[in-house]
Structure 1
Amino acid sequence: MQTNSSQGLMRARALAEASVAESYSTVMNDGVTKANQVLLPYVDTFAAGSQDAATTAIIPTGSYNTVLSQLNTVVQTSTSITAPNAIGTSSGTLTFKNFRVDLGSFSKAGQTYYVDYVLNGQGNSGSFKRNIETSGTLRLILGRTYLNQYVLLADDGGFTERSCITKNGKKYCSGGGYFGTGSVFDGPVHFNKNLALAGSPVFQYGLTVASPTTYMWDCQAQAWAVTTAQSTDCAKPDYGGYGQQHVSDAVTLPPNAFSQGRAALGGDENNQTALTTKEICLATGKVQNCTPTNGVYVPNSSGTVSGGIYIQGNAQDVQLSVEGQNQVYRITDEAGVVTVIKVNVTAKTTSVKTGSGQVVNLTGVPNGQFYVNGNIQSLRGPARNGSLPNPAPSTPDSSVVPPAIAEQTQLNVASSGDIRIQGDLTYEKNPNQNPDAKNVLGIISGGGQVLVGQGAPNDVYVMGSILAGATGKGLKVEGIDDAKAVYGYRGKVHLLGSLAEATDQLRGIGSVTGGLVKGYDDDFKYDKRFLNGGVVPPYFPATTKFGVTAFIPQQRTWEEK
């Protein structure tokens, strides 16, 4: 009897814990989406009033009780579990209490709010019952949505409409630029306009489009149908069960990278005006009326690093690599001078060697902003150690593709012009295999393209957030539209992270009813850390819209009642 009682009580407790765990899972997964439904009207009203989040509350105090009631209505969940083999059942509830604000959190970027939660679970196994209650606090960060929230975000999907006809009440057009068979996107995807689909591209988390229609290839008409349909006779995209949603909110991309330049010089990154000659001269240790000298600079004050890494003029080559605990930058400037910078985040030290000169040791580490006031003609990691299997996997073997970004490195590489990727750029710790990974990379072209260079390997691997937000710019395969360039099929661009671009660019050429014959397919995997602003590269831009950017539970108590 004692053994039977002990086992019955253990089963009942396990069932009670299962209900609590399921409710907690709901908070973590559906919580952000459902909380957005509640908070978005307040956020939209705030944004429409052009108010300053540093001084004015996004959610008025008088609305707290209403918000709390809405959270309990929209997010509240009741769980019910039936264990196999008649072991027992359990039920659980989630309740929110005490919605409030952190007054000390007010800033231009957003505000932090808190709400307490209580999870109750009751387990039943025969005549045995156990009740468990877990309580904690949710931190809701209302702030600007960062552009790495999407695995792919484009203002313009890249389709160019030409002549159109109307047949049987439907509009059909000629044109070009589309997403087709072979393209796979493992994360949120959004386009504002001009999106065309053919074959069977895969959008595993669905697709949102701000425009009322998309272009779908119609094999019977042999033209692009202008439609709101999810598919046509031969265009059958896979939406991962989420579908294609039209007329969603448009997302505006910031068009410049001047703030990244100031951050690299140790200035005010929020000042988005063009850098002045005086600012560059003073930050690089020259007199204020100088002509900026091309070269590599690590701004410092009396031997202590005071900014990031700044390059005046073009960078012929930037190679990123890992050496022990050091993040290594090997930079060849416009004049061909090689500068090697080694940063040890743990020891908080930086060493700089320019050409054949002496090593200069500095205290502290750069702030994470690497900026080139010109073009980056080659950006790459270490060379590969051997060949990839065929077909190449989405996640590379680090023994074949050595990491470029050290475990503790948080880096944003930006330029005022083009950035040409000529090699793999991978993390020492893959975040989708190590969710607590700290390494993160941003790649921003302020006024040009981010190019996959003609010297890039087949099946190139890039981990990070890419942004090319200037009008008409995006991620492009260099020379793909040049009839003289000899390409053939180059495999895939394996991106683990996000891409935000003004206009989607040509990366491959093929048939609307088949695969590519020239260039690269898209294999875009989402870095799950980017969801709701959990991880963002340093000084990475955000949209002008406010939203719920984090929904973070912190457990306080666990007790049996």
Structure 2
Amino acid sequence: MKRAQREEGLALISALMLIVLVLGVVAVTAQLTLGNVKQTSDTVATTRTLALAQGGRNFAQALLRGPVGADLSDAVADLAQRNVLGNASTWVFSKGEASQTPDPQRVAQNTQVLAAQLQGRLPGAGCYGPFIVSSTQTLSVRVSFNGTLPACDGAAEETVPIGVGRFISGARNSTQTYSLPYVMVVAASQGDARRTLTVNGEYQFDVGNGSFARFALLTDIHQNSSTSDEIYFTSDTLFNGPVHTNGNFAFYGEPWFGGAVSSSGVNDRQTQGAWFQRTDNCGRWWQPACVAFRGVAALTPTPAYGNAEPNFTNGVDWGADEIELPTNSNDQRGAAERAGIYVDGNATVTMTVGTAGSEISGRNGQTFQRLVVNGTEYRAFEDEALYMRSGNTWIRARNASGQEITNFNGVVYARGQITRLAGPPRSAASDPATAPPALASFSQITVAASSHIRITSDLKYEDNPCDGDLRRGSGGQVIVPSCETDPLQKKNVLGIYTSGGNILMGLGNTDSSLNVPRDVRIHATLMASEGQVLVENNRTAACNGKVYILGGVISKTYGAFGQFNSGTGQCTSGMQRSFTYDQRMLNGMAPPYFPTTQMTNLLPSRRIIQYSQAEQERR
């Protein structure tokens, strides 16, 4: 009996030991399995953060080419206006030097000034993000041109070694190429896994005399050309690009400016400052005047007068240098005579986009820019070949001297008026969206004349750089459209320039074909250096909606578009205006042979050079 009990006890102990052993094996196996799962999970997270960081590097390169490029352009223009930099007739970053190449030390010093100016313009002083890529992934980018990486996405501010700017190539009186070194840190996170890529490189950029196309609005005299009365910016006024006058601005209500604003005060009142008109607590003998000119001291630090409060989101300079406008179109005429289309007299010009068939050998299926000038049809292709119709055949076009044009330069010039400048008609007269493009996606055209130019239809880009118009929402908030900033991504551009007349939006003419349709769309930069950009018969013609301009307006005086009831704000004649700035112009884009200022400006060509890349993983 006792023996049986002992055997049962031994069996129980053996069973318990077996259970313990099995549980141990299970525990070890489970631990190994969980470890493997965690290791696999960590490996997946690490792989994904690496892929995200590498994608973030490509995103950061796009930032450098686009938004950072626009900030660089602003910084160059600002330093040039303040006489820190030279113009292209000398060495831009070694002003006044007449040597064969600029002094490297002076270039290094001045590019450091540029780097500091640029860094201060970057959002968060160079912190982009963090951006939420997915529910578990984030991405941020830090950029430094001055050796300081900002605090960003949990990372502290830090100082990093960085080189100095240098001259690369170019000559005085020509385009010059310089570089700024940069350090860029891309951080990608997924859960606890974090991967950073540190990239060292240099930003190479070209500078030269700036184009007037850089401005959203520029006037030499900001007054009515007939009465010399001030022309007021009101709460309906919206500009999202650089605005300048050589005279004095006038403000009423709350106009909004999204770009740099400057005035010289050399014209109009011939002193620095601006006009303001308020409507609150004014006009009685014991109150301030409702209309007053405010000098610079009165506008510092707040540029306002009562409830006349313009919103300068990017600063204002009341003492900027005068920017002189050209008085002739010799450059445009010469370009048209050499490798463009030249008319010795008045002209009509129509622009459309087409696709070639077999009528021109070797061109079947290719898109072309169609130009009809005084009844003669031309076709320009992306490789700069220009053909003209001769009877029923097509031949290579010839210049004013009778020589074959091998590379069309995009200039159409009339020594006289352009009585009709048009694109293709709308398929539905009341709907601007039904107007086909006038300019092919590759096309870069300047239409110029020595006298008046009348626009008679929509002139639209095939490849529109913006997804909408600058406007106010129902609550009064400013809605800024998303626009491409890189000139290399959207290439089509149109300039319209007259050196001795006005640019007219046709309206109120007995011949209805000379009138623009309602809510006309003009994709172009318009310049009348001795005249105005205005709506024809704006005091007598019936209201015809708005003129929507995507580009800029440069003129001697600020032209009238229409008349309005001061009490209701409703149109009584003519048209209203809606300006949306083409952001590519900040990055140096300009129509071919468009007039240039004497100020230094950033040119479109730029290169992002990467020298080294270092990866770091952190969990």
Partner of 2:206: 141
| Structure 2 residue runs without a partner (length 5+) | 1-37, 120-124, 148-161, 266-271, 284-288, 356-366, 397-403, 468-483, 508-514
TM-score by length of 1: 0.75
Structure 2 CA distance for aligned equivalents of residues 418 and 81 of structure 1: 49
Give the structure 2 partner of residue 282 of structure 1. none
Cα drift, residue 185 of structure 1: 2.4
Instruction: Indicate the residue corresponding to 2:104 in structure 1.
Output: 61
Q: State the TM-score, normalizing by the size of structure 2.
A: 0.68
Cα distance, 1:511 vs structure 2: 4.3
Q: Distance in 2 between matches of 1:82 and 1:89?
A: 5
- Picking from 402, 406, 409, the partner of 2:440 is 406
After superposition, the C-alpha distances for 1:148-184 in whole angstroms (9 at most, x for unaligned) are 111111111225798xxxxxxxxxxx94433334343
Residues 464 and 210 from structure 1, CA distance in 2 versus in 1: closer, same or farther, beyond 3 angstroms?
Answer: same
Provide the residue aligned with 1:301 in structure 2: none
Q: Deviations over 1:500-548 (max 9, x none)?
A: 1111111122245634322222211111211131x21111111011244
Residue 273 of structure 1 corresponds to none
Compared CA separation, residues 347 and 8, structure 1 to 2 (3 A): closer
Q: Which residue is equivalent to 2:351?
A: 320
Rounded to whole Å, the distance in 2 between the matches of 1:29 and 1:137 is 16
Q: Taking structure 1 as reference, are residues 181 and 79 closer, same or farther at Cα in structure 2, changes over 3 Å only?
A: closer
Paired with 1:342 and 1:106, the residues of 2 have a C-alpha distance of 36
2:578 match = 523
Q: Confirm or deny that 1:100 pairs with 2:166.
A: yes
Matches within 5 A, 1:317-396: 317-324=348-355, 325-332=367-374, 338-346=375-383, 348-353=385-390, 357=391, 359-362=393-396, 364-388=406-430, 396=432
Moved more, 189-198 or 30-39: 30-39
Contact 2:131/2:139 (8 A) holds in 1: yes
Question: Considering only CA atoms, is the larger Rg found in Structure 1 or Structure 2?
Answer: 2
Residue 322 and residue 44 in structure 1: after superposition, are their counterparts in 2 closer, same or farther (change >3 A)? same
| Higher strand residue share | 1
Residue in structure 2 matched with residue 226 of structure 1 by the alignment: 293
1:310, distance to aligned residue in structure 2 (A)? 0.7
1:422 and 2:453 are equivalent in the alignment? no
Residue 513 of structure 2 corresponds to residue 478 of structure 1: no
Q: Residue 523 of structure 1: SS of its match in structure 2?
A: strand
Secondary structure of 1:489 counterpart: coil
RMSD: 3.7
Matched, 1:450 2:503: yes
Counterparts of 1:493-532 in structure 2 under 5 Å? Answer: 493-512=547-566, 514-532=569-587
Residues 48/12 of structure 1: CA separation in 2 closer, same or farther (3 Å cut): closer
Q: Which residue of structure 1 aligns with residue 83 of structure 2?
A: 44
Distance 1:178 1:109, change over 3 A: farther
Native 8 Å contact 2:251 2:310 kept in 1: yes
Asked if the contact 1:12–1:124 (Cα under 8 Å) also holds between the matched residues in 2, the reply is yes
Task: Give the structure 1 partner of residue 274 of structure 2.
Answer: 214
Residue 409 of structure 1 and its aligned partner are, at CA, apart by 1.6
Query: Residue type matched to 2:455 in 1?
Result: I
CA offset digits 1:1-24 (Å, max 9, x no partner): 213322553576478669866697
Query: What is aligned with 1:281?
Result: none
Separation of aligned partners in 2, 1:402 and 1:34: 35
Structure 2 residue identity aligned to 1:322: V
Task: Name the aligned partner's letter for residue 492 of structure 1.
Answer: K
| Deviation at residue 323 of structure 1 after TM alignment | 1.8
Question: What's the CA shift for 1:210?
Answer: 2.4
Report the AA paired with residue 60 of structure 1: D
CA distance in 1 between counterparts of 2:388 and 2:88 reads 48
One-letter amino acid of the structure 2 residue matched with residue 531 of structure 1: L
Q: Deviations over 1:253-292 (max 9, x none)?
A: 22211111111111xxxxxxxxxxxxxxxxxxxxxxxxxx
Paired residues for 1:153-168 under 5 Å: 153-159=218-224
TM-aligned CA distance change 1:55 to 1:493, over 3 Å: farther
Deviation at 1:108, TM superposition (A): 2.0
Q: What is the CA distance between 1:379 and its match in structure 2? A: 0.8
Query: Displacement of 1:376 after TM fit?
Result: 0.7
Seq. identity, % = 26
**1:271 aligns to what?**
none
Flag the 1:10–1:230 CA change in 2: closer, same or farther, 3 A: farther
Q: 1:16–1:111: structure 2 CA closer, same or farther, 3 Å change rule?
A: same
Structure-2 residue corresponding to 1:248 = 320
Q: Distance in 1 between matches of 2:321 and 2:102?
A: 21
Which has the larger helix fraction?
Answer: 2
| 2:216 aligned to which of 151, 162, 175 | 151
Aligned residue pairs, count: 484
2:214–2:590 CA contact under 8 A, matched in 1: no
Partner Cα distance (2:187, 2:219) in 1: 47
**Residue 545 of structure 2: aligned partner:** 491
Q: Residue 136 of structure 1 aligns to which amino acid in structure 2?
A: G
Q: Could you tell me which of 262, 279, 302 is aligned with 2:334?
A: 262
- CA distance 1:331–1:36, shift in 2 (3 Å): closer
Cα 1:161–1:234 change in 2 (3 A) is farther
The Cα offsets for residues 386-422 of structure 1, whole Å up to 9 and x where unpaired, read as 0445xxxxxx52xx11111122221110001110111
- What do residues 313-353 of structure 1 show as CA deviations (whole Å, max 9, x unaligned)? 111x2211112222222233xxxxx2222223348340234
Structure 1 residues 409 and 24, CA, compared in 2 at 3 Å: closer, same or farther?
closer
Corresponding residue number in structure 2 for 1:464 = 524
**Amino acid in the other structure paired with 2:573:** K
Counterpart contact for 1:344–1:365, Cα < 8 Å: no
Aligned to 2:251: 197
